[in-house]
Structure 1
Amino acid sequence: MISEIEMIDRVMRATHFNELKQHNGSVLQFKDILKTIHPDKCKHPQAQEATNRLLAMHRHFTDGSPYTDDSGEFLTNDFWVKYRGEEFVIAAAKQKQQQVMAGAGAHLKRYMPYVWDSDRSLLLDQRAIPLVNLTLPQEHVNWVVSRLLEFCMLLHRQLGMAHLGLTPAHVMLVPETHGIAVAGFYHAVALDSRVSTISAAYRHWYPGSLLDSKKATENADLEMVKRVGAYLLGDRSGLGNALIRTHHREFVDFLLGADDDSLSCYEKYREMLDKNFRSQFIHLNI
């Protein structure tokens, strides 16, 4: 048996409900956890707070939480994604992602750690959290941007394609491994081909050259990665100007600069990281 104090401590520390289910090789049931910590029976001063937290985690795990992307609403509990928006848009994204997966090398495939289990839903290999509304410390933004730049480099070099939809709803964190999962291939097209759709909600994230020429470029994906970096540091505009006086200057200069080649951009970024930041694995408790 787990004591009330221990169970409340576990609930308050847990980042997701699945983390609570396992205990010493046994599986704990939701009703048993709730019975242990509910304030009707438990007199611990944090009983109500822990109960509210448990109910929220269980609701998220069971039903998922709602987000919006370029197809409309989707639900995720961090282990699956269920799309509920425009059917033809979702179908196009699935077809394009599977095309990418079929031609991808092993390293690029690691950035798509999921399978389509229906026409409208994904099953994730590991817990993955959308970037929507997240703000992260500099040391974690460093590796997220690095992963995204590497994804772009591989997508551009191996398949000659541009993603064109690297927004917070289409990129998910895999916190346990410092990985990312990229979805939302709605706008993906061959490099140098005509662009017919973009993310309307993030129109200001695209470079003016793409909006003028309607031609897919490596620069467009690289600019969106930099917007994601600024967004995660707290600048919700994604433009990065608000970070000049508050964050690392060389990192912000990188976000504000322009790059046209994904390989040279990735190499420049890694060199900047090696020069200014310690190389270390810092656990992301999220």
Structure 2
Amino acid sequence: MRAPHFNALHPPEDEDLNFREILKMIHPDKCKHPMAQEATNHLLAIHRHFVHGSEFADDAGGFLSNDYWVNYMGEPAIIDHGRKMQREIAARAPEHLRRYMPYTWDTTSSLLMEQRAIPLVNLTLPQEHVNWVLSRLLEFCMLLHRHTGRAHLGLTPAQVLLVPETHGIAVAGFYHTAPLGGPVKTISGAFRHWYPATLLADKKATENADLEMVKRIGAYLLGDRSGLGTSLLKTHHRGFIEFLLSSDDDSLACYEKYRAILDQNFPSQFIHLNI
């Protein structure tokens, strides 16, 4: 799990307690607790993340994020193309689809998030949280395909951000977007093995390609970093993993099938994600 975010370091009754005051309280020079040094190092790491952001790799080259902003540092031409594609899609999208893009472009290479949003990179989540992440992603695909006629084609852990407080997600990185049925010009090289063989052979954008990548994210979040999911059959809900291993060509039918699996096998409840 990622370290707690900086705004969660103190309870509401201590709203005026700032970083330096907390540091003085727990620093080994003042605090004699045997874990004072560990706590100090942890606090410094949280503060560095909050002020400077942590670095992640993506298809453009890399970006910094502190969970409240994203600053892309990679190839300017690729970043610019992704920004233009995202804004073009958002301009023609219905309100519900735009909710999956809860950010504004502060500059041509930086995003400001409406709420705290965490990249999925290196995250492992319990089954009950992976359930709703996949539900959001499949709904995003269904809305994107039905209302814009486009495929995202780059749904990787770096391009999907988790909004823990609301059980929401934010989707970015529209570098590879293409019209459904149209030619695919680029893919994510680092996640080439996540794409279906038919897309690699035909080089045509399909709903199936986005759905396959969503399922790979599901396996990734359950702890299988390959995204393939077969190793999870003995450790996780079999029906859920079999869904991840199946193939679907229609995003609406896939979403409805997935919702039926959740309704039949898991309780419907909001479980707070402390991350």
Q: TM-score range by the shorter chain?
A: over 0.9
Partner of 1:39: 28
Residue 162 of structure 1 deviates from its aligned partner by: 0.2
**Corresponding residue to 1:198 among 178, 183, 187:** 187
State whether structure 2 residue 235 is matched by structure 1 residue 246.
Answer: yes
Q: Distance in 1 between matches of 2:102 and 2:183?
A: 29
Q: Distance in 1 between matches of 2:76 and 2:159?
A: 17
Which runs of structure 2 are paired with 1:155-166 in the superposition (5 Å)? 155-166=144-155
Q: Distance in 2 between matches of 1:29 and 1:156?
A: 46
Partner of 1:172: 161
Partner of 2:56: 67
TM-score, normalization: structure 1?
0.93
2:62 is paired with a residue whose SS is: strand
State whether structure 2 residue 142 is matched by structure 1 residue 153.
Answer: yes
Counterpart code for 1:274: D
Q: Distance in 1 between matches of 2:42 and 2:14?
A: 24
Q: Contact (CA 8 Å) 1:72, 1:86: kept in 2 or not?
A: yes
Q: Contact (CA 8 Å) 1:22, 1:28: kept in 2 or not?
A: no
Q: Distance in 2 between matches of 1:15 and 1:265?
A: 35
Between 1:265-274 and 1:39-48, the stretch displaced more is 39-48
Partner of 1:126: 115
Q: Greater relative contact order: 1 or 2 (C-alpha under 8 angstroms, separation 6 or more)? A: 2
Between 1:131-140 and 1:22-31, the stretch displaced more is 22-31
2:9 is paired with a residue whose SS is: helix
State whether structure 2 residue 18 is matched by structure 1 residue 29.
Answer: yes
1:176 is paired with a residue whose SS is: coil
Residue 172 of structure 1 deviates from its aligned partner by: 0.7
Q: Distance in 2 between matches of 1:43 and 1:25?
A: 23
Partner of 1:57: 46
Which runs of structure 2 are paired with 1:71-110 in the superposition (5 Å)? 71-110=60-99
State whether structure 2 residue 225 is matched by structure 1 residue 236.
Answer: yes
Residue 29 of structure 1 deviates from its aligned partner by: 2.2
Question: How many residues of Structure 1 are paired with residues of Structure 2 in the alignment?
Answer: 273
CA RMSD of superposed structures (Å):
1.2
Q: Distance in 2 between matches of 1:229 and 1:158?
A: 24
Residue 25 of structure 1 deviates from its aligned partner by: 6.8
Q: Distance in 1 between matches of 2:30 and 2:126?
A: 39
Residue 23 of structure 1 deviates from its aligned partner by: 4.0
Q: Distance in 2 between matches of 1:25 and 1:180?
A: 30
